[in-house]
Amino acid sequence: MEEPLDNWFKREILAHEAMLLRYLMRVWPRKHEVQDLRQETYARVYEAAMTSRPVSPRAFLFTTAHHLMTDRVRHERIVSIEAVGDIEALNVLHDEISAEQLVSARQELKRLAAAMDRLPPRCREVMWLRRVEGLSQKETAERLGVSVKAIEQQVSKGGRLLAEYMLGEDVAVSSTKREFESDDDRGHGKP
């Protein structure tokens, strides 16, 4: 019999609240929005868990927070051309990013690149195709000649690895990387 969702949520998700808040405070530029981001992250995780509980709740929590921030940034950058009429009327400055934000963004990008480099080759390839090139799971599976299920597994594990590395948990990354390599050896994907 499956544990009630509220109990699972308290034990597996709320237990990481302090770590989630530190992460959001570190990466989100508008500190006054951090509490809202936390609550929206919890709402998304809870809603997803009503359908299916994640295998790695903590990794899922941080991945959800990351996706929420990405969605917000994307939403802020979208401007209706119809609403503006004259694109020059926007008067958008391209140099609005402060030097501190630029340095911080570059550091995050370097950390992400280092995290991607640490992934096993097959996992790195899958994550690149899915997250950078934006291919669907089906397109990625066809391109690599593997099943959609294999892609799902690689994306799940790759997301967990990247989240753990970005949080500075090198030990977890090393052990999960060995797990990936043994998955590839068992034929879950082409080398």
CB atoms within 10 A of CB 20: 21
Side-chain half-sphere CA neighbours of 92 within 13 A: 10
Q: What pLDDT score does 165 carry? A: 81
CB atoms within 10 A of CB 34: 17
Q: Which residue from 31, 61, 27 is spatially nearest to 47, judged by alpha carbons?
A: 61
The predicted-structure confidence for 28-45, as pLDDT tens digits, reads as follows 888 999 999 999 999 999
Does 92 fall in a domain?
A: no
CATH number at residue 124: 1.10.10.10
Does 85 fall in a domain?
A: no
Q: Which of 49, 78, 107 is the last residue of a domain?
A: 78
- Given a contact cutoff of 8 angstroms between Cβ atoms, the answer to whether 191 and 183 are in contact is no
CATH number at residue 12: 1.10.1740
Q: Which of 43, 78, 113 is the last residue of a domain?
A: 78
Q: Are residues 18 and 64 in the same domain?
A: yes
Does 62 fall in a domain?
A: yes
Domain range enclosing 10:
1-78
CA angle, 157 then 163 then 166, to 5°:
140
Q: What pLDDT score does 98 carry? A: 61
Q: Which residue numbers in the chain have pLDDT < 70?
A: 1, 77-99, 101-102, 168-191
Does 20 fall in a domain?
A: yes
Residues near 60 by beta carbon (within 8 Å), at least 6 away in sequence: 45, 48, 54
Q: Are residues 169 and 113 in the same domain?
A: yes
Q: Which of 25, 49, 78 is the last residue of a domain?
A: 78
Q: What pLDDT score does 189 carry? A: 45
What's the domain count of the chain?
2
Does 72 fall in a domain?
A: yes
